[in-house]
Amino acid sequence: MSLDFNIEKPDLSMKNEIQEKIDNLNKPKGSLGRLEELAMQICLIQQTLSPKLTAPCHLLFGGDHGIEKEGVSVSPREVTWQQMINFTKGGGGVNMFCRQSGFTLKIVDVGVDYDLTPYPQIINRKIARGTANFLHQEAMTQPQFKKAIEIGKELVDEAVANNSNIISIGEMGIANTSPSSIWMSLFENIPLNECIGAGAGLNSKGVEHKKEILSKALEKFLKEIPNYTTEEAIRYFGGFEMVAAIGAMLRAAEKRVIILVDGFIMSACALAAIKLCPAAKEYMIFCHSGDESGHKMMLEKMGAKPLLNLGLRLGEGTGALCAFPIIDSSVRMINQMNNFENANITKYF
């Protein structure tokens, strides 16, 4: 299947002009560090010297994983649907952070193993009640993969239609660190054991069991499809919520929308999206380095510089939302700080 995305890197022709504006703000050159880098990136994405952040939107995709049945997560499957319902009541971490920074929250069921139709606050895009168990077979079929991609695209198109030019993406899906670890191993050529961590809180015995299960699954995949494509690796192991996130990232990049990347799982989705369309990375801001084993290594391999390191491992997109005020500050800096000439301050460099 060929993915229909036309993603171009931002035009760099105005880079010098942007840098000149940043350097002429009344501050020592380079003294606002990462804020200056963020301002440059956002100006290039929007092709303007006066960027804006409008109608920020948070997409939260939920889905269950067949591999959960192998005991690779300390949390039981029902936590997925219980948390999805909790989000409708405003009681999750994601709800609090969205309220804090004025994000519209979209809760989307793409594959939860529970009937969530009684909750109108949850957008029903259920593909199936969870993926298949990738220890024994591919997690999803090609039509299901395509549908998940299309759901991600649809949600971004809706956000853009509502004037959003910045989105963050989160997930709710017990056991989704397992496919993330395998993608990291496959896409970055890292030994699988180095990519596997405790997830939501496995003890050392649980981590060893997780490594054994995932190693068997990966061995089976490589035997069946030795010359796999990126799409095949995504489809064989991924969750519906993860593939929807990939579709959303690629569509956002195509629409020149800023993408806030959350923790380990969303970084794995970003990695997959970049493998499919390398230019998509230019539109991504990596928001934090989480507590999951392997996340820091994944970010380093991607050449990504996370904004925060707070020991987070909640998921839901909360790390991306935590980073938003910093991104907002970078835009306020370039728009609201005075320059040397107007402030009548001697420019000393």
Residues 43-59: tens digit of each pLDDT: 999 999 999 999 999 99
Residue 182: pLDDT band (50, 70, 90) is very high
Rounded alpha-carbon distances, angstroms, from residue 201 to 74, 82, 153, 322: 6, 18, 32, 22
CA angle, 119 as apex, 114 and 125 as ends, to 5°? 60
Asked if residue 278 belongs to a domain, the reply is yes
Instruction: Give me the domain span that covers residue 320.
Output: 57-326
| pLDDT for the residue 1 | 45
List helix spans (H) across 193-317.
Answer: 204-224, 230-237, 240-254, 264-276, 295-302
| pLDDT for the residue 347 | 75
* pTM across the whole model: 0.95
Asked if residue 8 belongs to a domain, the reply is no
Which has the closest alpha carbon to 289: 273, 271, 255, 266?
A: 266
Asked if residue 117 belongs to a domain, the reply is yes
**63 in the same domain as 39:** no
Q: How far is CA 266 from the centre of its chain?
A: 3
**236 in the same domain as 217:** yes
Tokens of 235: 């489809």
pLDDT digit string, tens, across residues 265-291: 999 999 999 999 999 999 999 999 987
**283 in the same domain as 160:** yes
**45 in the same domain as 150:** no
Asked if residue 6 belongs to a domain, the reply is no
DSSP 55: S
CB 109 within 8 A of CB 252: no
Asked if residue 5 belongs to a domain, the reply is no
Mean pLDDT of 79-84: 96
Question: Strand, coil or helix: what is 339?
Answer: strand
DSSP 103-136: PEEEEEEEE-SS--TT-TTEEE---SSS---TTT
Could you confirm whether 300 is annotated as catalytic? no
Catalytic-labelled residue, pool 70, 78, 316, 341: 316
| pLDDT for the residue 333 | 97
Asked if residue 349 belongs to a domain, the reply is no
| pLDDT for the residue 165 | 98
| pLDDT for the residue 98 | 97
**40 in the same domain as 68:** no
The radius of gyration of the chain's CA atoms, rounded to the nearest angstrom, is 20
pLDDT of 2 higher than 70: no
Rounded alpha-carbon distances, angstroms, from residue 85 to 2, 112, 317: 35, 11, 17
Lowest mean pLDDT among 38-52, 314-328, 329-343: 329-343
**139 in the same domain as 118:** yes
Which has the closest alpha carbon to 79: 163, 210, 199, 227?
A: 199
DSSP 294: T
**41 in the same domain as 170:** no
**33 in the same domain as 133:** no
Cβ of 11: how many Cβ atoms within 10 Å?
Answer: 9
Q: Which H/E stretch holds residue 171?
A: strand 166-172
**35 in the same domain as 123:** no
Write the CATH number for 157. 3.40.50.10210
**171 in the same domain as 28:** no
Asked if residue 1 belongs to a domain, the reply is no
Query: What order do you get walking across the sheet with 166-172 strand by strand?
Result: 122-124, 104-111, 57-63, 166-172, 258-261, 284-286
**121 in the same domain as 33:** no
Residue 314: pLDDT band (50, 70, 90) is confident
**139 in the same domain as 23:** no
| Average confidence score pLDDT of the chain | 94
The structural domain count of the chain equals 2
Q: Tell me how far apart the alpha carbons of residues 147 and 173 are, in angstroms, rounded to a whole number.
A: 18
Asked if residue 165 belongs to a domain, the reply is yes
